[in-house]
Chains A and B, each alone.
Chain A
Protein backbone atom coordinates (compact mmCIF):
# COMPACT_ATOMS: atom_id res chain seq x y z
CA UNK A 1 0.00 0.00 0.00
CA UNK A 2 1.39 3.48 -0.86
CA UNK A 3 2.81 5.41 2.11
CA UNK A 4 0.16 8.19 2.02
CA UNK A 5 -2.55 5.54 2.43
CA UNK A 6 -0.74 4.07 5.44
CA UNK A 7 -0.66 7.54 6.98
CA UNK A 8 -4.33 7.96 6.18
CA UNK A 9 -5.09 4.64 7.88
CA UNK A 10 -3.35 5.76 11.09
CA UNK A 11 -5.13 9.10 11.02
CA UNK A 12 -8.56 7.52 10.58
CA UNK A 13 -8.00 4.94 13.32
CA UNK A 14 -6.79 7.60 15.73
CA UNK A 15 -9.89 9.68 14.91
CA UNK A 16 -12.09 6.75 16.00
CA UNK A 17 -13.17 5.37 12.61
CA UNK A 18 -13.98 1.66 12.95
CA UNK A 19 -11.18 -0.59 11.61
CA UNK A 20 -13.51 -2.42 9.21
CA UNK A 21 -14.52 0.87 7.55
CA UNK A 22 -10.88 1.99 7.37
CA UNK A 23 -9.85 -1.32 5.79
CA UNK A 24 -12.53 -1.14 3.13
CA UNK A 25 -11.91 2.55 2.38
CA UNK A 26 -8.20 1.95 1.91
CA UNK A 27 -8.78 -1.10 -0.27
CA UNK A 28 -10.97 0.91 -2.62
CA UNK A 29 -8.63 3.91 -2.56
CA UNK A 30 -5.68 1.67 -3.47
CA UNK A 31 -7.67 0.18 -6.38
CA UNK A 32 -8.74 3.66 -7.50
CA UNK A 33 -5.15 4.89 -7.29
CA UNK A 34 -4.01 1.98 -9.47
CA UNK A 35 -6.62 2.96 -12.10
CA UNK A 36 -5.56 6.61 -11.97
CA UNK A 37 -1.89 5.70 -12.27
CA UNK A 38 -2.60 3.48 -15.28
CA UNK A 39 -4.53 6.34 -16.90
CA UNK A 40 -1.81 8.91 -16.17
CA UNK A 41 1.00 6.63 -17.35
CA UNK A 42 -0.36 6.92 -20.90
CA UNK A 43 0.88 10.51 -21.03
CA UNK A 44 3.57 10.84 -18.35
CA UNK A 45 6.56 9.14 -16.81
CA UNK A 46 5.97 6.64 -14.04
CA UNK A 47 7.02 9.05 -11.26
CA UNK A 48 4.94 11.92 -12.65
CA UNK A 49 2.00 9.58 -13.10
CA UNK A 50 2.17 8.54 -9.44
CA UNK A 51 2.24 12.19 -8.30
CA UNK A 52 -0.62 13.14 -10.61
CA UNK A 53 -2.66 10.11 -9.50
CA UNK A 54 -2.22 10.99 -5.82
CA UNK A 55 -3.22 14.61 -6.55
CA UNK A 56 -6.37 13.46 -8.33
CA UNK A 57 -7.27 11.11 -5.49
CA UNK A 58 -7.53 14.12 -3.16
CA UNK A 59 -5.58 15.75 -0.35
CA UNK A 60 -5.03 13.78 2.82
CA UNK A 61 -7.19 16.28 4.70
CA UNK A 62 -10.09 15.83 2.26
CA UNK A 63 -9.79 12.05 2.28
CA UNK A 64 -9.59 11.87 6.06
CA UNK A 65 -12.29 14.45 6.81
CA UNK A 66 -14.77 12.83 4.41
CA UNK A 67 -14.66 9.74 6.62
CA UNK A 68 -14.18 11.34 10.04
CA UNK A 69 -17.12 13.75 9.67
CA UNK A 70 -19.59 10.91 9.27
CA UNK A 71 -20.44 9.70 12.76
CA UNK A 72 -21.84 6.47 11.40
CA UNK A 73 -18.31 5.29 10.61
CA UNK A 74 -17.13 5.78 14.19
CA UNK A 75 -16.41 2.65 16.22
CA UNK A 76 -18.37 1.98 19.39
CA UNK A 77 -15.18 2.16 21.41
CA UNK A 78 -14.72 5.74 20.17
CA UNK A 79 -18.39 6.68 20.69
CA UNK A 80 -18.82 5.11 24.13
CA UNK A 81 -15.42 4.03 25.52
CA UNK A 82 -16.84 3.79 29.05
CA UNK A 83 -19.24 1.08 27.84
CA UNK A 84 -16.86 -0.87 25.62
CA UNK A 85 -13.74 -0.69 27.78
CA UNK A 86 -15.24 -0.18 31.24
CA UNK A 87 -18.59 -1.94 31.47
CA UNK A 88 -18.47 -4.64 28.76
CA UNK A 89 -15.31 -6.38 30.09
CA UNK A 90 -16.89 -6.64 33.54
CA UNK A 91 -20.04 -8.13 32.02
CA UNK A 92 -17.92 -10.60 30.02
CA UNK A 93 -15.96 -11.54 33.12
CA UNK A 94 -19.15 -11.98 35.16
CA UNK A 95 -20.51 -14.22 32.37
CA UNK A 96 -17.25 -16.21 32.35
CA UNK A 97 -17.49 -16.68 36.13
CA UNK A 98 -21.11 -17.77 35.80
CA UNK A 99 -19.98 -20.47 33.35
CA UNK A 100 -17.17 -21.44 35.76
CA UNK A 101 -19.72 -21.73 38.60
CA UNK A 102 -22.00 -23.87 36.46
CA UNK A 103 -19.06 -26.07 35.43
CA UNK A 104 -18.05 -26.51 39.07
CA UNK A 105 -21.61 -27.34 40.13
CA UNK A 106 -21.91 -29.97 37.35
CA UNK A 107 -18.59 -31.54 38.41
CA UNK A 108 -19.70 -31.52 42.01
CA UNK A 109 -22.94 -33.34 41.18
CA UNK A 110 -21.28 -35.82 38.82
CA UNK A 111 -18.01 -36.67 40.59
CA UNK A 112 -18.58 -35.74 44.25
CA UNK A 113 -22.30 -36.15 44.87
CA UNK A 114 -21.90 -36.91 48.57
CA UNK A 115 -19.46 -34.09 49.39
CA UNK A 116 -20.56 -30.95 51.28
CA UNK A 117 -18.50 -28.79 48.91
CA UNK A 118 -16.54 -29.50 45.74
CA UNK A 119 -13.41 -28.09 47.46
CA UNK A 120 -11.21 -29.41 50.22
CA UNK A 121 -12.23 -32.62 51.93
CA UNK A 122 -13.24 -35.51 49.74
CA UNK A 123 -15.29 -37.98 51.75
CA UNK A 124 -15.48 -40.35 48.82
CA UNK A 125 -11.69 -40.58 48.56
CA UNK A 126 -9.19 -39.02 46.16
CA UNK A 127 -10.31 -38.18 42.68
CA UNK A 128 -8.49 -39.68 39.75
CA UNK A 129 -8.23 -39.51 36.00
CA UNK A 130 -11.11 -37.84 34.20
CA UNK A 131 -12.58 -36.26 37.33
CA UNK A 132 -9.21 -34.78 38.22
CA UNK A 133 -8.74 -33.46 34.70
CA UNK A 134 -12.23 -32.02 34.82
CA UNK A 135 -11.59 -29.99 37.99
CA UNK A 136 -8.09 -28.91 36.91
CA UNK A 137 -9.49 -27.66 33.59
CA UNK A 138 -12.15 -25.73 35.50
CA UNK A 139 -9.50 -24.18 37.74
CA UNK A 140 -7.41 -23.19 34.73
CA UNK A 141 -10.45 -21.58 33.09
CA UNK A 142 -11.36 -19.76 36.31
CA UNK A 143 -7.89 -18.22 36.73
CA UNK A 144 -7.38 -17.55 33.01
CA UNK A 145 -10.75 -15.80 32.48
CA UNK A 146 -9.73 -12.30 33.73
CA UNK A 147 -6.45 -12.48 31.81
CA UNK A 148 -8.19 -13.43 28.57
CA UNK A 149 -10.77 -10.65 29.01
CA UNK A 150 -7.92 -8.21 29.74
CA UNK A 151 -6.11 -9.27 26.59
CA UNK A 152 -9.33 -8.65 24.70
CA UNK A 153 -9.41 -5.08 26.06
CA UNK A 154 -5.76 -4.60 25.11
CA UNK A 155 -6.38 -5.91 21.61
CA UNK A 156 -9.36 -3.60 21.02
CA UNK A 157 -7.41 -0.63 22.39
CA UNK A 158 -4.36 -1.29 20.23
CA UNK A 159 -6.34 -2.10 17.09
CA UNK A 160 -8.35 1.09 17.36
CA UNK A 161 -5.43 3.27 18.51
CA UNK A 162 -7.33 4.36 21.64
CA UNK A 163 -5.82 6.71 24.18
CA UNK A 164 -4.47 4.93 27.24
CA UNK A 165 -7.05 6.25 29.75
CA UNK A 166 -10.00 3.96 29.05
CA UNK A 167 -7.98 0.79 28.45
CA UNK A 168 -6.22 1.49 31.76
CA UNK A 169 -9.57 1.91 33.54
CA UNK A 170 -10.82 -1.33 31.98
CA UNK A 171 -7.70 -3.29 32.92
CA UNK A 172 -7.75 -2.02 36.53
CA UNK A 173 -11.44 -2.96 36.89
CA UNK A 174 -10.81 -6.44 35.48
CA UNK A 175 -7.82 -6.94 37.78
CA UNK A 176 -9.86 -5.74 40.76
CA UNK A 177 -12.80 -8.01 39.93
CA UNK A 178 -10.60 -11.00 39.07
CA UNK A 179 -8.29 -10.56 42.05
CA UNK A 180 -11.09 -10.25 44.59
CA UNK A 181 -13.36 -12.94 43.12
CA UNK A 182 -14.22 -15.56 45.72
CA UNK A 183 -16.27 -18.65 45.00
CA UNK A 184 -18.33 -20.34 47.72
CA UNK A 185 -20.12 -23.68 47.56
CA UNK A 186 -22.43 -25.14 50.17
CA UNK A 187 -24.72 -28.10 50.20
CA UNK A 188 -26.60 -26.92 53.28
CA UNK A 189 -27.57 -23.48 51.98
CA UNK A 190 -30.42 -24.79 49.85
CA UNK A 191 -32.96 -27.27 51.22
CA UNK A 192 -33.14 -30.44 49.17
CA UNK A 193 -29.39 -30.90 48.85
CA UNK A 194 -29.02 -29.48 45.33
CA UNK A 195 -26.01 -27.45 46.36
CA UNK A 196 -25.44 -23.72 46.16
CA UNK A 197 -22.59 -21.84 44.49
CA UNK A 198 -22.11 -18.08 44.99
CA UNK A 199 -19.42 -15.51 44.25
CA UNK A 200 -18.21 -12.29 45.89
CA UNK A 201 -16.31 -9.52 44.13
CA UNK A 202 -14.51 -6.22 44.80
CA UNK A 203 -13.76 -6.77 48.52
CA UNK A 204 -9.99 -6.32 49.00
CA UNK A 205 -9.99 -8.24 52.27
CA UNK A 206 -6.64 -10.02 52.14
CA UNK A 207 -3.13 -9.57 50.84
CA UNK A 208 -3.73 -12.60 48.57
CA UNK A 209 -6.50 -10.67 46.77
CA UNK A 210 -4.20 -7.70 46.30
CA UNK A 211 -1.35 -9.84 44.99
CA UNK A 212 -3.74 -11.73 42.68
CA UNK A 213 -5.15 -8.41 41.38
CA UNK A 214 -1.65 -7.04 40.75
CA UNK A 215 -0.66 -10.25 38.95
CA UNK A 216 -3.70 -9.99 36.65
CA UNK A 217 -3.00 -6.30 36.04
CA UNK A 218 0.63 -7.02 35.12
CA UNK A 219 -0.24 -9.90 32.80
CA UNK A 220 -2.94 -7.91 31.00
CA UNK A 221 -1.02 -4.64 30.78
CA UNK A 222 2.10 -6.23 29.33
CA UNK A 223 0.64 -7.10 25.89
CA UNK A 224 -0.92 -3.63 25.68
CA UNK A 225 2.42 -1.97 26.35
CA UNK A 226 4.17 -4.24 23.82
CA UNK A 227 1.55 -4.03 21.05
CA UNK A 228 0.81 -0.33 21.41
CA UNK A 229 2.12 1.44 18.28
CA UNK A 230 4.38 4.43 18.61
CA UNK A 231 2.94 7.81 17.75
CA UNK A 232 3.51 8.48 14.02
CA UNK A 233 5.42 11.41 12.63
CA UNK A 234 3.42 14.63 12.07
CA UNK A 235 1.04 14.19 9.17
CA UNK A 236 1.62 16.09 5.95
CA UNK A 237 -1.24 16.80 3.52
Chain B
Protein backbone atom coordinates (compact mmCIF):
# COMPACT_ATOMS: atom_id res chain seq x y z
CA UNK B 1 0.00 0.00 0.00
CA UNK B 2 1.37 3.44 -0.88
CA UNK B 3 2.40 5.72 1.98
CA UNK B 4 0.30 8.81 2.47
CA UNK B 5 1.97 12.04 3.53
CA UNK B 6 0.71 13.30 6.86
CA UNK B 7 1.55 16.16 9.19
CA UNK B 8 1.58 14.37 12.51
CA UNK B 9 3.46 16.64 14.94
CA UNK B 10 1.06 19.54 14.87
CA UNK B 11 -1.91 17.21 14.57
CA UNK B 12 -2.07 16.32 18.26
CA UNK B 13 -5.55 17.27 19.42
CA UNK B 14 -6.52 18.71 16.04
CA UNK B 15 -8.58 15.75 14.79
CA UNK B 16 -10.54 15.83 18.06
CA UNK B 17 -11.17 19.53 17.66
CA UNK B 18 -12.32 19.26 14.05
CA UNK B 19 -14.49 16.21 14.68
CA UNK B 20 -16.21 17.77 17.69
CA UNK B 21 -16.78 20.96 15.71
CA UNK B 22 -18.42 19.06 12.86
CA UNK B 23 -20.50 16.79 15.07
CA UNK B 24 -21.77 19.65 17.16
CA UNK B 25 -23.60 20.85 14.07
CA UNK B 26 -25.04 17.54 12.83
CA UNK B 27 -24.65 13.79 13.19
CA UNK B 28 -22.32 12.16 10.66
CA UNK B 29 -20.65 8.84 9.91
CA UNK B 30 -16.91 8.36 9.49
CA UNK B 31 -16.63 8.75 5.75
CA UNK B 32 -18.77 11.89 5.85
CA UNK B 33 -16.60 13.35 8.62
CA UNK B 34 -13.41 12.82 6.64
CA UNK B 35 -14.91 14.36 3.48
CA UNK B 36 -16.18 17.34 5.48
CA UNK B 37 -12.75 17.91 7.07
CA UNK B 38 -11.10 17.69 3.69
CA UNK B 39 -13.47 20.12 1.99
CA UNK B 40 -13.61 22.64 4.85
CA UNK B 41 -9.82 22.76 5.31
CA UNK B 42 -9.15 22.80 1.53
CA UNK B 43 -7.31 19.48 1.99
CA UNK B 44 -4.58 21.20 4.02
CA UNK B 45 -5.05 18.69 6.81
CA UNK B 46 -4.14 15.30 5.40
CA UNK B 47 -4.42 12.13 7.44
CA UNK B 48 -4.96 8.51 6.58
CA UNK B 49 -8.75 8.45 6.53
CA UNK B 50 -9.02 5.33 8.67
CA UNK B 51 -7.34 6.92 11.68
CA UNK B 52 -10.46 8.97 12.29
CA UNK B 53 -12.11 5.92 13.89
CA UNK B 54 -9.80 5.52 16.90
CA UNK B 55 -10.40 9.22 17.58
CA UNK B 56 -14.17 8.74 17.32
CA UNK B 57 -14.09 5.63 19.52
CA UNK B 58 -11.89 7.40 22.07
CA UNK B 59 -14.24 10.37 22.23
CA UNK B 60 -17.23 8.06 22.54
CA UNK B 61 -15.54 6.20 25.38
CA UNK B 62 -14.97 9.54 27.10
CA UNK B 63 -18.71 10.24 26.55
CA UNK B 64 -17.94 13.24 24.39
CA UNK B 65 -19.77 11.52 21.51
CA UNK B 66 -22.66 9.12 21.21
CA UNK B 67 -23.23 6.73 18.34
CA UNK B 68 -26.10 4.84 16.78
CA UNK B 69 -26.46 2.53 13.82
CA UNK B 70 -28.74 3.90 11.16
CA UNK B 71 -29.72 2.60 7.73
CA UNK B 72 -29.73 5.22 4.99
CA UNK B 73 -30.29 4.33 1.31
CA UNK B 74 -30.03 0.65 2.13
CA UNK B 75 -26.66 0.97 3.85
CA UNK B 76 -26.20 0.58 7.56
CA UNK B 77 -23.70 3.00 9.11
CA UNK B 78 -22.65 4.17 12.53
CA UNK B 79 -23.58 7.82 13.02
CA UNK B 80 -21.92 9.98 15.67
CA UNK B 81 -23.11 13.12 17.40
CA UNK B 82 -21.65 15.33 20.15
CA UNK B 83 -22.92 15.19 23.72
CA UNK B 84 -22.89 18.07 26.20
CA UNK B 85 -19.54 16.72 27.49
CA UNK B 86 -18.31 16.91 23.90
CA UNK B 87 -19.50 20.53 23.59
CA UNK B 88 -17.64 21.42 26.77
CA UNK B 89 -14.52 19.70 25.50
CA UNK B 90 -14.82 21.51 22.17
CA UNK B 91 -14.95 24.85 23.98
CA UNK B 92 -11.78 23.97 25.92
CA UNK B 93 -9.93 22.72 22.83
CA UNK B 94 -11.00 25.76 20.78
CA UNK B 95 -9.70 28.10 23.46
CA UNK B 96 -6.38 26.25 23.74
CA UNK B 97 -5.97 26.13 19.97
CA UNK B 98 -6.88 29.81 19.49
CA UNK B 99 -4.34 30.80 22.14
CA UNK B 100 -1.68 28.62 20.54
CA UNK B 101 -2.39 29.89 17.02
CA UNK B 102 -2.34 33.48 18.27
CA UNK B 103 0.98 32.94 20.02
CA UNK B 104 2.56 31.38 16.94
CA UNK B 105 1.26 34.17 14.71
CA UNK B 106 2.65 36.76 17.10
CA UNK B 107 6.00 34.99 17.18
CA UNK B 108 6.21 34.84 13.39
CA UNK B 109 5.14 38.44 13.00
CA UNK B 110 7.90 39.61 15.37
CA UNK B 111 10.70 37.55 13.84
CA UNK B 112 13.14 38.25 10.99
CA UNK B 113 10.77 36.61 8.50
CA UNK B 114 7.87 38.84 9.44
CA UNK B 115 7.87 40.47 6.00
CA UNK B 116 7.55 37.10 4.32
CA UNK B 117 4.24 36.28 5.97
CA UNK B 118 2.60 39.64 5.30
Partner-B contacts on A (CB < 8 A): 4, 21, 24-25, 28-29, 31-32, 35-36, 51, 54-60, 62-63, 66-67, 70, 72-73, 237
Contact = CB atoms under 8 A, between A and B. Distances in A.
Interface residues of B, number: 23
Contacts of A29: 50, 53
A237 B48 CA distance: 13
Interface of B: 1-4, 6, 29-31, 34, 47-51, 53-55, 57-58, 61, 75, 77-78
A237 B31 contact: no
A54 B61 CA distance: 27
Given A31-B31, A56-B49, A4 B54 contact: no
B1 A55 contact: yes
Contact of B48 (A25, A28, A63, A70): A63
Contact of A36 (B2, B49, B77, B78): B49
B81 to A, nearest CB: 16
B31 A63 contact: no
A55 B54 CA distance: 18
Contacts of A237: 1, 3
Given A28-B30, A32-B30, A59 B49 contact: no
A47 to B, nearest CB: 14
A54 B58 contact: no
List 7 tightest A-B contacts by C-beta distance, closest first: A58-B48, A66-B51, A66-B54, A35-B31, A62-B48, A58-B50, A57-B50
Contacts of A58: 4, 47-51
A36 to B, nearest CB: 7
A129 B31 CA distance: 65
Nearest to B48: A58
B4 A55 contact: yes
Nearest to A24: B57
Contact of B57 (A62, A63, A73): A73
28 contacts: A21-B57, A25-B53, A28-B30, A28-B53, A28-B78, A29-B53, A31-B75, A32-B30, A32-B34, A36-B31, A36-B49, A51-B1, A55-B1, A56-B4, A56-B48, A56-B49, A58-B47, A58-B48, A59-B1, A59-B3, A59-B48, A60-B1, A62-B48, A63-B48, A66-B51, A67-B54, A237-B1, A237-B3
Contacts of A72: 58, 61
Nearest to B75: A31
Contacts of B61: 72
B64 to A, nearest CB: 13
B24 to A, nearest CB: 21
Contact of A31 (B2, B6, B47, B77): B77
Contacts of B54: 25, 66-67, 70, 73
